[in-house]
Amino acid sequence: MKNIAVIGTGVIGTGWILRFLANGIKVKAFDKNSRQINFLKAEITRTNLIIKKLYNTKINFKNLEIVDNIDEAVKNADLIQENVPERLSLKKDVIKNISKYSPTNAIIASSSSGLLPSDLQSKCINPKRLIVAHPFNPVYILPLVEIVKGKKTTNLYLNKAKKFYQKIKMKTLFVEKELPGFLSDRLQEALWREGLHIVNDGYASTKDLDEAITYGPGMRWALMGTFLTFHLAGGEMGMKHMLDQFGPALKLPWTKLKSPKLSKKLKEKIIKGTKQQSNNHSIKDLSNIRDNFLIDLLELKKKYKL
Ligand SMILES: NC(=O)c1ccc[n+]([C@@H]2O[C@H](COP(=O)([O-])OP(=O)(O)OC[C@H]3O[C@@H](n4cnc5c(N)ncnc54)[C@H](O)[C@@H]3O)[C@@H](O)[C@H]2O)c1
């Protein structure tokens, strides 16, 4: 796995490029919108110190080639990471093109947040090499990648892909049975929907809801996740007591889950709320704060490994 192609250099494509380059891998990148390349360049500059802090290395620009079309990007690739917007029809067409111009045994990995790999395979030539490899933003720091196989994917490609992502220091989580939204996004989405309801119904601001996570459960989640955390909520009896005590609450109307309508008013509330929370920090400033915090958190996680 020496030559990687990245298709689409938005938030996620750029994050992948940074991770690949930081691991000394050669990348050919293509984006339909040539202006996106400016974003990529700005991100490489912004993360200079962050990459140094995390990987103890500098990015070698010679390893990055920006090309003008898909065929040029994928023709010698061992693995192609696809990162175009989350629309099934668009992704199917892009994957069809990738599969047409790439070596037939090159792995095609989609960064999709929740589309089923079996659907993404439908127009792919040699679909047994297509997987979903779903990362988390910022890709160059967060270790998790959900690997999902479609009906036509074979274990040969799946295992090769797993090994590759592990080699670039990722935590591979294999999703046995494909399901929309996979694992992490189903959990995130449940919280997000509930938050939208609370803002929409006027009970709390976006800041209140964010603090409800970052000073409380969010701090525990980085170490234990929901299940192990709730095991401790049951005292000496652990999960058994927790279920006896809080099981009945599952019947109370604590959550709605079906999302509210994303009305103009709700959108304005959320956009205004998050702008106020940003406290005049630019997206670039906030990204730097987040990145440095996450790197320190990774160290802390190593120290308290369970
Ligand atoms: N943003 C996130 O937090 C996140 C996290 C995990 C996974 N994802 C997934 O990653 C994928 C990309 O999301 P994003 O947030 O980076 O989107 P984005 O809008 O930031 O970037 C998408 C890029 O694809 C380019 N593009 C569009 N059509 C193209 C084509 N035909 N060929 C080449 N490039 C094309 C666009 O110009 C743009 O630069 C989606 O599938 C999304 O679900 C996003």
Phi then psi for residue 194, to 5 deg, are -65, -40
Residue ranges, comma separated, of all CATH 3.40.50.720 domains in the chain are: 3-175
Q: Which CATH number fits domain 3-175: 3.50.50.60, 3.30.420.40, 3.20.20.70, 3.40.50.720?
A: 3.40.50.720
| Rounded alpha-carbon distances, angstroms, from residue 6 to 10, 102, 143, 146, 177 | 10, 12, 18, 18, 26
Alpha-helix residue ranges (DSSP H) falling in the chain: 11-22, 36-46, 48-55, 70-74, 88-101, 117-120, 155-167, 184-200, 206-214, 217-221, 225-233, 239-246, 264-277, 283-303
Q: In this structure, which amino acid lies at residue 261?
A: K
The Cα–Cα gap between 62 and 85 comes to 28
39, 70, 84, 113: residue to mutate for ligand 1 pocket, most atoms within 8 A of CB: 84
pLDDT in tens, 161-189: 999 999 999 999 999 899 999 999 999 99
Query: In the prediction, which pLDDT does 89 show?
Result: 98
pLDDT in tens, 48-90: 999 999 999 999 989 999 999 999 999 999 999 999 999 999 9
Q: Which CATH number fits domain 184-303: 1.10.1040.10, 3.40.710.10, 2.40.40.20, 3.40.50.10420?
A: 1.10.1040.10
In three-state secondary structure terms, 205 is: coil
- Give the residue-averaged pLDDT of 254-267: 91
32, 142, 287: residue to mutate for ligand 1 pocket, most atoms within 8 A of CB: 32
Residue ranges, comma separated, of all CATH 1.10.1040.10 domains in the chain are: 184-303
Q: Evaluate if residue 114 carries a pLDDT over 90.
A: yes
113, 141, 142: residue to mutate for ligand 1 pocket, most atoms within 8 A of CB: 113
Q: Evaluate if residue 12 carries a pLDDT over 90.
A: yes
Taking the C-alpha atoms of 216, 218, 223 and 224 in order, what is their torsion angle to the nearest 10 degrees? 90
Residue 130's pLDDT band, with cuts at 50, 70 and 90, is: very high
* Cβ count within 10 A of residue 105: 12
Residue 254's pLDDT band, with cuts at 50, 70 and 90, is: confident
Q: Is 85 in the pocket of ligand 1 (CB under 6 A)?
A: yes
Residue 253's pLDDT band, with cuts at 50, 70 and 90, is: confident
- Give the residue-averaged pLDDT of 257-286: 94
64 beta partners: 27
Q: 246: CA distance to ligand 1 center in Å? A: 40
Q: Is the dihedral angle over the CA atoms 11, 93, 80, 136 positive or is it negative?
A: positive
Mean pLDDT over each residue of the chain, to the nearest integer: 96
- Give the residue-averaged pLDDT of 263-269: 95
State the pairing for strand pair 79-82/64-66. unpaired
The Cα–Cα gap between 31 and 73 comes to 10
- Give the residue-averaged pLDDT of 190-212: 97
Q: Is 8 in the pocket of ligand 1 (CB under 6 A)?
A: yes
In three-state secondary structure terms, 258 is: coil
Cα–Cα nearest to 139, from 167, 111, 160, 115:
111
Q: Is 112 in the pocket of ligand 1 (CB under 6 A)?
A: yes
Query: In the prediction, which pLDDT does 255 show?
Result: 87
pTM: predicted TM-score of the whole model, two decimal places:
0.96
